[in-house]
Amino acid sequence: MFVLGIIELKNVSKSFDNKTNVIDDLNLTIESGEFVVLLGPSGSGKSTILRMIAGLEPITKGDLFIKGKRQNDVPAKDRDIAMVFQNYALYPHMTVFDNIAFGLKVRKVNKGKIEEKVEKVAEMLGLTSYLKRKPKDLSGGQQQRVALGRAIVRDTDIFLMDEPLSNLDAKLRTTMREELVQLHRELSATTIFVTHDQTEAMTMADKIVVINEGKVQQIGTPAEIYNYPANLFVAGFIGSPAMNLLPLQENRSGFAFAGQMIQTPGFTTQPDGLILGIRPEDCKISGKGYPVKITFIEDLGADQYIHGISGGRKVVIRESPDKRFRIGQHTFFTMNPEKISWFDKKTGKRLEPADEPFTGDELRVYHG
Protein backbone atom coordinates (compact mmCIF):
# COMPACT_ATOMS: atom_id res chain seq x y z
CA MET A 1 0.00 0.00 0.00
CA PHE A 2 1.27 3.42 -0.84
CA VAL A 3 1.01 5.67 2.17
CA LEU A 4 1.49 9.34 1.71
CA GLY A 5 3.68 10.86 4.42
CA ILE A 6 2.11 13.28 6.87
CA ILE A 7 4.99 15.64 6.09
CA GLU A 8 6.72 15.70 2.76
CA LEU A 9 9.54 17.90 1.56
CA LYS A 10 10.08 17.77 -2.17
CA ASN A 11 13.25 19.21 -3.72
CA VAL A 12 13.37 21.82 -0.98
CA SER A 13 16.21 24.33 -1.05
CA LYS A 14 16.87 27.21 1.27
CA SER A 15 19.16 30.13 0.72
CA PHE A 16 19.59 33.15 2.95
CA ASP A 17 21.65 35.18 0.51
CA ASN A 18 20.37 33.87 -2.84
CA LYS A 19 23.87 32.58 -3.58
CA THR A 20 24.63 29.54 -1.49
CA ASN A 21 22.08 26.95 -0.49
CA VAL A 22 22.01 26.13 3.19
CA ILE A 23 19.62 23.33 2.32
CA ASP A 24 20.13 21.83 -1.06
CA ASP A 25 17.46 19.87 -2.93
CA LEU A 26 16.11 18.08 0.12
CA ASN A 27 13.67 15.20 -0.19
CA LEU A 28 12.18 13.80 2.95
CA THR A 29 9.02 11.93 3.79
CA ILE A 30 7.88 11.61 7.36
CA GLU A 31 5.14 9.17 8.13
CA SER A 32 2.33 9.62 10.58
CA GLY A 33 3.21 8.83 14.17
CA GLU A 34 6.93 8.52 13.58
CA PHE A 35 9.55 9.88 15.93
CA VAL A 36 12.07 11.28 13.49
CA VAL A 37 15.37 12.74 14.60
CA LEU A 38 17.24 15.18 12.40
CA LEU A 39 20.83 14.63 13.42
CA GLY A 40 23.80 16.64 12.31
CA PRO A 41 26.64 18.82 13.52
CA SER A 42 25.89 22.46 14.28
CA GLY A 43 25.50 24.50 11.12
CA SER A 44 24.36 21.48 9.13
CA GLY A 45 20.98 23.04 8.41
CA LYS A 46 18.86 20.70 10.52
CA SER A 47 17.21 23.52 12.46
CA THR A 48 16.52 25.36 9.23
CA ILE A 49 14.61 22.33 7.95
CA LEU A 50 12.53 22.29 11.12
CA ARG A 51 11.87 26.02 10.89
CA MET A 52 10.75 25.67 7.29
CA ILE A 53 8.28 22.98 8.32
CA ALA A 54 7.03 25.24 11.13
CA GLY A 55 6.65 28.17 8.76
CA LEU A 56 9.14 30.35 10.62
CA GLU A 57 11.47 30.41 7.63
CA PRO A 58 10.31 30.81 4.04
CA ILE A 59 11.18 28.05 1.59
CA THR A 60 13.38 29.30 -1.24
CA LYS A 61 12.64 26.49 -3.67
CA GLY A 62 10.64 23.27 -3.68
CA ASP A 63 7.45 22.22 -1.95
CA LEU A 64 6.39 21.36 1.55
CA PHE A 65 3.28 19.25 2.02
CA ILE A 66 1.59 18.60 5.32
CA LYS A 67 -1.22 16.06 5.20
CA GLY A 68 -1.18 16.33 1.44
CA LYS A 69 -1.65 20.10 1.33
CA ARG A 70 1.02 22.44 0.05
CA GLN A 71 2.14 24.68 2.91
CA ASN A 72 4.76 26.98 1.39
CA ASP A 73 2.54 30.05 1.66
CA VAL A 74 0.61 29.15 4.79
CA PRO A 75 1.69 31.36 7.72
CA ALA A 76 3.06 29.64 10.82
CA LYS A 77 0.00 30.44 12.88
CA ASP A 78 -2.26 28.52 10.54
CA ARG A 79 -0.17 25.37 10.22
CA ASP A 80 -1.46 23.79 13.42
CA ILE A 81 1.93 22.56 14.48
CA ALA A 82 3.28 22.62 18.02
CA MET A 83 6.89 23.56 18.48
CA VAL A 84 9.28 23.29 21.40
CA PHE A 85 12.29 25.59 21.35
CA GLN A 86 15.82 25.12 22.60
CA ASN A 87 15.56 27.94 25.13
CA TYR A 88 11.98 26.94 25.92
CA ALA A 89 10.73 30.36 24.80
CA LEU A 90 8.37 30.69 27.74
CA TYR A 91 6.52 33.98 28.00
CA PRO A 92 8.24 35.54 31.03
CA HIS A 93 5.35 37.80 32.03
CA MET A 94 2.81 34.99 32.17
CA THR A 95 2.24 32.32 34.78
CA VAL A 96 2.78 28.65 33.95
CA PHE A 97 -0.97 28.30 33.50
CA ASP A 98 -1.14 31.20 31.05
CA ASN A 99 1.91 29.95 29.19
CA ILE A 100 0.29 26.57 28.61
CA ALA A 101 -3.10 28.12 27.90
CA PHE A 102 -1.83 30.73 25.41
CA GLY A 103 -2.22 28.56 22.32
CA LEU A 104 -5.79 27.74 23.30
CA LYS A 105 -6.68 31.32 24.21
CA VAL A 106 -5.61 32.67 20.85
CA ARG A 107 -7.77 30.00 19.27
CA LYS A 108 -10.72 31.25 21.33
CA VAL A 109 -11.31 27.95 23.10
CA ASN A 110 -13.85 28.53 25.87
CA LYS A 111 -12.58 29.15 29.36
CA GLY A 112 -13.85 26.02 31.07
CA LYS A 113 -12.37 23.83 28.37
CA ILE A 114 -9.01 25.63 28.64
CA GLU A 115 -8.90 25.09 32.39
CA GLU A 116 -9.76 21.44 32.04
CA LYS A 117 -7.11 20.85 29.37
CA VAL A 118 -4.34 22.81 31.08
CA GLU A 119 -4.97 20.98 34.33
CA LYS A 120 -4.86 17.63 32.59
CA VAL A 121 -1.57 18.45 30.87
CA ALA A 122 -0.10 19.89 34.07
CA GLU A 123 -0.94 16.69 35.89
CA MET A 124 0.62 14.62 33.15
CA LEU A 125 3.86 16.61 33.45
CA GLY A 126 3.87 17.01 37.21
CA LEU A 127 3.34 20.77 37.04
CA THR A 128 0.07 21.02 38.98
CA SER A 129 1.57 22.79 41.98
CA TYR A 130 3.50 25.26 39.82
CA LEU A 131 0.64 26.61 37.69
CA LYS A 132 0.60 30.00 39.42
CA ARG A 133 4.36 30.56 39.22
CA LYS A 134 6.24 32.58 36.68
CA PRO A 135 8.81 30.81 34.47
CA LYS A 136 11.74 32.49 36.23
CA ASP A 137 10.77 30.74 39.48
CA LEU A 138 11.12 27.30 37.92
CA SER A 139 14.13 25.03 37.47
CA GLY A 140 15.43 24.22 33.99
CA GLY A 141 13.70 20.87 33.97
CA GLN A 142 10.39 22.40 35.03
CA GLN A 143 10.68 25.10 32.38
CA GLN A 144 11.29 22.39 29.84
CA ARG A 145 8.12 20.63 30.98
CA VAL A 146 6.12 23.85 30.63
CA ALA A 147 7.42 24.19 27.07
CA LEU A 148 6.31 20.63 26.40
CA GLY A 149 2.99 21.28 28.06
CA ARG A 150 2.39 24.22 25.78
CA ALA A 151 2.88 21.89 22.82
CA ILE A 152 0.86 18.97 24.21
CA VAL A 153 -2.17 21.04 25.22
CA ARG A 154 -2.74 22.01 21.60
CA ASP A 155 -3.85 18.50 20.66
CA THR A 156 -2.09 18.74 17.35
CA ASP A 157 -0.64 15.69 15.67
CA ILE A 158 2.69 17.24 14.69
CA PHE A 159 5.38 18.19 17.20
CA LEU A 160 8.56 19.95 16.20
CA MET A 161 11.37 20.04 18.75
CA ASP A 162 14.49 22.10 18.24
CA GLU A 163 17.24 20.74 20.53
CA PRO A 164 14.88 20.86 23.49
CA LEU A 165 17.21 18.99 25.84
CA SER A 166 20.48 20.74 25.15
CA ASN A 167 20.10 23.24 28.00
CA LEU A 168 19.56 20.58 30.65
CA ASP A 169 22.28 18.96 32.72
CA ALA A 170 23.35 15.43 31.81
CA LYS A 171 21.26 13.62 34.39
CA LEU A 172 18.08 15.54 33.69
CA ARG A 173 18.63 15.04 29.98
CA THR A 174 18.54 11.27 30.43
CA THR A 175 15.30 11.45 32.42
CA MET A 176 13.67 13.84 29.95
CA ARG A 177 14.71 11.54 27.10
CA GLU A 178 12.78 8.70 28.66
CA GLU A 179 9.84 10.95 29.38
CA LEU A 180 9.72 12.19 25.81
CA VAL A 181 9.73 8.66 24.43
CA GLN A 182 7.00 7.74 26.91
CA LEU A 183 5.03 10.81 25.91
CA HIS A 184 5.39 10.00 22.23
CA ARG A 185 4.04 6.54 22.90
CA GLU A 186 1.02 7.98 24.72
CA LEU A 187 0.21 10.74 22.25
CA SER A 188 1.45 9.00 19.08
CA ALA A 189 1.91 12.39 17.48
CA THR A 190 4.36 12.69 14.64
CA THR A 191 7.49 14.18 16.17
CA ILE A 192 10.44 15.76 14.46
CA PHE A 193 13.29 16.24 16.86
CA VAL A 194 16.42 18.16 15.98
CA THR A 195 19.65 17.42 17.81
CA HIS A 196 23.40 17.25 17.40
CA ASP A 197 23.59 14.66 20.17
CA GLN A 198 23.85 11.18 18.70
CA THR A 199 22.91 9.54 22.00
CA GLU A 200 19.56 11.36 21.89
CA ALA A 201 19.12 10.27 18.29
CA MET A 202 20.03 6.64 18.91
CA THR A 203 17.86 6.27 22.00
CA MET A 204 14.74 8.10 20.87
CA ALA A 205 14.34 7.84 17.14
CA ASP A 206 12.22 5.52 15.06
CA LYS A 207 14.06 7.01 12.15
CA ILE A 208 17.21 9.09 12.02
CA VAL A 209 17.92 11.55 9.25
CA VAL A 210 21.62 12.38 9.23
CA ILE A 211 22.27 15.81 7.77
CA ASN A 212 25.49 17.54 6.89
CA GLU A 213 26.07 20.73 4.94
CA GLY A 214 22.42 20.98 4.03
CA LYS A 215 22.24 17.54 2.52
CA VAL A 216 20.71 14.33 3.74
CA GLN A 217 23.53 11.87 4.30
CA GLN A 218 21.45 8.89 5.34
CA ILE A 219 17.97 7.98 6.48
CA GLY A 220 17.43 4.86 8.54
CA THR A 221 16.68 3.28 11.88
CA PRO A 222 19.32 3.84 14.57
CA ALA A 223 20.64 0.29 14.00
CA GLU A 224 20.89 0.77 10.25
CA ILE A 225 22.71 4.04 10.63
CA TYR A 226 25.09 2.55 13.17
CA ASN A 227 25.82 -0.70 11.39
CA TYR A 228 25.64 0.37 7.77
CA PRO A 229 26.80 3.97 7.52
CA ALA A 230 26.13 5.22 4.01
CA ASN A 231 29.30 7.24 3.71
CA LEU A 232 32.43 8.37 5.49
CA PHE A 233 30.66 11.32 7.10
CA VAL A 234 28.04 9.15 8.79
CA ALA A 235 30.67 6.56 9.72
CA GLY A 236 32.77 9.21 11.41
CA PHE A 237 29.87 11.13 12.98
CA ILE A 238 27.92 8.27 14.56
CA GLY A 239 29.45 6.32 17.40
CA SER A 240 31.61 7.38 20.30
CA PRO A 241 34.46 6.75 20.00
CA ALA A 242 34.09 6.97 16.26
CA MET A 243 34.53 4.15 13.78
CA ASN A 244 38.15 3.48 12.80
CA LEU A 245 38.53 4.58 9.20
CA LEU A 246 41.68 3.11 7.72
CA PRO A 247 42.85 3.91 4.18
CA LEU A 248 44.27 0.82 2.49
CA GLN A 249 47.37 0.64 0.29
CA GLU A 250 46.75 -0.79 -3.10
CA ASN A 251 49.44 -3.01 -4.64
CA ARG A 252 49.66 -5.50 -7.45
CA SER A 253 48.09 -8.34 -5.52
CA GLY A 254 45.35 -6.41 -3.72
CA PHE A 255 44.88 -4.15 -0.69
CA ALA A 256 47.00 -3.97 2.43
CA PHE A 257 46.91 -2.30 5.83
CA ALA A 258 49.92 -1.94 8.12
CA GLY A 259 51.90 -4.23 5.91
CA GLN A 260 49.32 -7.02 6.05
CA MET A 261 47.27 -8.06 3.06
CA ILE A 262 43.54 -7.59 3.56
CA GLN A 263 41.02 -9.80 1.89
CA THR A 264 38.45 -7.59 0.17
CA PRO A 265 35.19 -8.76 -1.31
CA GLY A 266 34.27 -7.99 -4.89
CA PHE A 267 32.25 -4.79 -5.08
CA THR A 268 29.23 -3.88 -7.15
CA THR A 269 31.04 -0.79 -8.31
CA GLN A 270 34.77 -0.59 -8.91
CA PRO A 271 36.26 1.51 -6.09
CA ASP A 272 38.75 4.25 -6.65
CA GLY A 273 40.89 3.62 -3.59
CA LEU A 274 39.53 1.87 -0.52
CA ILE A 275 38.88 2.85 3.08
CA LEU A 276 38.11 0.21 5.67
CA GLY A 277 35.75 1.08 8.49
CA ILE A 278 35.62 -0.92 11.69
CA ARG A 279 34.09 0.00 15.04
CA PRO A 280 36.27 -0.21 18.19
CA GLU A 281 34.06 -3.00 19.58
CA ASP A 282 34.73 -5.15 16.51
CA CYS A 283 38.49 -5.11 17.09
CA LYS A 284 40.38 -7.29 19.57
CA ILE A 285 43.92 -7.15 20.93
CA SER A 286 45.48 -10.46 20.02
CA GLY A 287 48.75 -12.32 19.57
CA LYS A 288 48.51 -11.98 15.82
CA GLY A 289 47.02 -9.67 13.22
CA TYR A 290 47.93 -6.04 12.62
CA PRO A 291 50.76 -4.55 14.66
CA VAL A 292 49.75 -1.75 17.01
CA LYS A 293 51.62 0.39 19.50
CA ILE A 294 49.48 1.42 22.48
CA THR A 295 49.60 5.18 23.09
CA PHE A 296 46.77 5.79 25.53
CA ILE A 297 44.32 3.79 27.65
CA GLU A 298 40.86 5.07 28.54
CA ASP A 299 39.34 3.08 31.38
CA LEU A 300 35.59 3.59 31.61
CA GLY A 301 34.95 0.92 34.22
CA ALA A 302 32.73 -1.31 32.11
CA ASP A 303 35.10 -1.17 29.15
CA GLN A 304 38.48 0.16 28.33
CA TYR A 305 39.34 1.88 25.10
CA ILE A 306 42.85 1.15 23.85
CA HIS A 307 44.18 3.94 21.65
CA GLY A 308 47.12 3.06 19.47
CA ILE A 309 49.01 3.63 16.25
CA SER A 310 48.84 1.04 13.54
CA GLY A 311 50.23 1.47 10.04
CA GLY A 312 50.73 5.16 10.78
CA ARG A 313 47.03 5.52 11.67
CA LYS A 314 45.27 6.10 14.95
CA VAL A 315 43.08 3.17 15.93
CA VAL A 316 40.76 2.65 18.91
CA ILE A 317 39.99 -0.83 20.22
CA ARG A 318 37.44 -1.71 22.87
CA GLU A 319 38.59 -4.31 25.33
CA SER A 320 37.12 -5.86 28.45
CA PRO A 321 38.34 -4.13 31.62
CA ASP A 322 39.99 -7.19 33.18
CA LYS A 323 42.81 -7.36 30.64
CA ARG A 324 46.02 -5.51 31.44
CA PHE A 325 47.80 -3.35 28.89
CA ARG A 326 50.40 -0.69 29.23
CA ILE A 327 51.23 2.44 27.31
CA GLY A 328 54.06 1.92 24.85
CA GLN A 329 53.33 -1.79 24.52
CA HIS A 330 53.74 -3.30 21.04
CA THR A 331 51.08 -5.85 20.26
CA PHE A 332 48.64 -6.92 17.56
CA PHE A 333 44.92 -6.63 16.90
CA THR A 334 42.35 -8.40 14.75
CA MET A 335 39.11 -7.23 13.17
CA ASN A 336 35.83 -9.11 12.87
CA PRO A 337 35.63 -9.46 9.07
CA GLU A 338 31.83 -9.57 9.11
CA LYS A 339 31.62 -6.15 10.68
CA ILE A 340 33.86 -4.33 8.25
CA SER A 341 32.36 -1.45 6.23
CA TRP A 342 34.01 -0.52 2.96
CA PHE A 343 34.13 2.97 1.53
CA ASP A 344 35.26 4.36 -1.76
CA LYS A 345 38.18 6.66 -0.98
CA LYS A 346 37.31 9.09 -3.74
CA THR A 347 33.54 9.44 -3.33
CA GLY A 348 33.39 8.56 0.37
CA LYS A 349 30.38 6.34 -0.32
CA ARG A 350 29.74 2.96 1.16
CA LEU A 351 30.61 0.02 -1.06
CA GLU A 352 28.43 -3.05 -1.10
CA PRO A 353 30.07 -6.46 -1.52
CA ALA A 354 28.90 -8.04 -4.78
CA ASP A 355 28.48 -11.52 -3.34
CA GLU A 356 26.01 -10.42 -0.67
CA PRO A 357 23.55 -8.43 -2.66
CA PHE A 358 22.24 -5.52 -0.73
CA THR A 359 18.51 -5.63 -0.15
CA GLY A 360 16.98 -2.26 -0.50
CA ASP A 361 13.83 -3.30 1.36
CA GLU A 362 15.63 -3.66 4.62
CA LEU A 363 17.64 -0.52 4.35
CA ARG A 364 16.70 2.83 3.09
CA VAL A 365 20.13 4.18 2.50
CA TYR A 366 20.27 7.49 0.85
CA HIS A 367 23.43 8.14 -1.04
CA GLY A 368 23.35 11.88 -0.86
Partner 1 sequence: MAKREKIEKLILFLILLAIGLFMVFPMVWMMLSSLKTTEEILGGSLTLLPSDPQWSNFPKALEMAPFLRFVWNSFFTASVIVIVQLFLSSLLAYALTQMEFKGRNTLFMIVLSTYMLPAAATYVPSYVIISRLGLMDSLAGIIVSNLANVFTIFLLRQNFLKVPKELIEAARADGASEWTILWKIVAPMSKNALINASILSFVLNFNNYLWPSLITNSEENYLISVGLNRFFNTQGAFEQTFPLIMAATVISVLPLLIIYFVLQKYFISAVSSSSGLKG
Q: Which of 29, 72, 86, 203 binds partner 1 (CB under 8 A)?
A: 86
Contacts of residue 93, Cβ cutoff 8 Å, sequence gap at least 6: 134
| CB 56, min distance to partner 1, A | 5
Nearer to partner 1, 88 or 333 (CB): 88
Nearer to partner 1, 17 or 356 (CB): 17
Does position 78 bind partner 1 by CB under 8 A? yes
Kindly give the pairing relationship between strand 341-344 and strand 350-351.
Answer: antiparallel
Is residue 340 near partner 1 by the rule CB under 8 A?
A: no
Give 147 or 232: the residue with its C-beta nearer to partner 1: 147
Residue 21, CA atoms < 13 Å, CB-side half-sphere: 16
Residue 165 CB, shortest distance to partner 1, in Å, is 16
Residues 314, 186: Cα–Cα separation, whole Å: 45
Nearer to partner 1, 82 or 246 (CB): 82
Minimal CA–CA distance to 228: which of 35, 358, 36, 37? 358
Q: How far is the CB of 54 from partner 1 (least distance, A)?
A: 6
In the region spanning residues 101 to 140, those forming contacts with partner 1, defined by CB under 8 A, are: 102-103, 106-107
| Interface region with partner 1, contact rule CB under 8 A, candidates 26-34, 82-90, 125-133, 293-301 | 82-90
Judge whether 280 and 317 are in contact, CB under 8 Å. yes
Residue ranges in 205-310 assigned as alpha helix (H): 222-227, 232-237
Q: Judged by CB under 8 A, does residue 82 bind partner 1? A: yes
Q: Dihedrals φ, ψ of 252, to 5°?
A: -60, -35
- The contacts of residue 202 (CB under 8 Å, 6+ apart) are 208, 222, 226, 238
Bond prior to 241 in cis (omega within 30° of 0): yes
For residue 157, state whether it binds partner 1 (rule: CB under 8 A). no
- Compare residues 75 and 312 and give the one whose CB is closer to partner 1: 75
Coil vs helix vs strand at 171: helix
| CA 113/CA 50 separation, integer angstroms | 30
Q: Does residue 16 belong to the site contacting partner 1 (CB under 8 A)?
A: no
- In the complex, least distance from residue 218 CB atom to partner 1, rounded to whole angstroms: 29
**Using rule CB under 8 A, residue 80 touches partner 1:** yes
- Supply the minimum distance, in Å, between the C-beta of residue 55 and partner 1: 7
Q: Which residues bind partner 1 (CB under 8 A)?
A: 54-56, 75-83, 85-87, 89, 91-93, 102-103, 106-107, 150, 154, 160
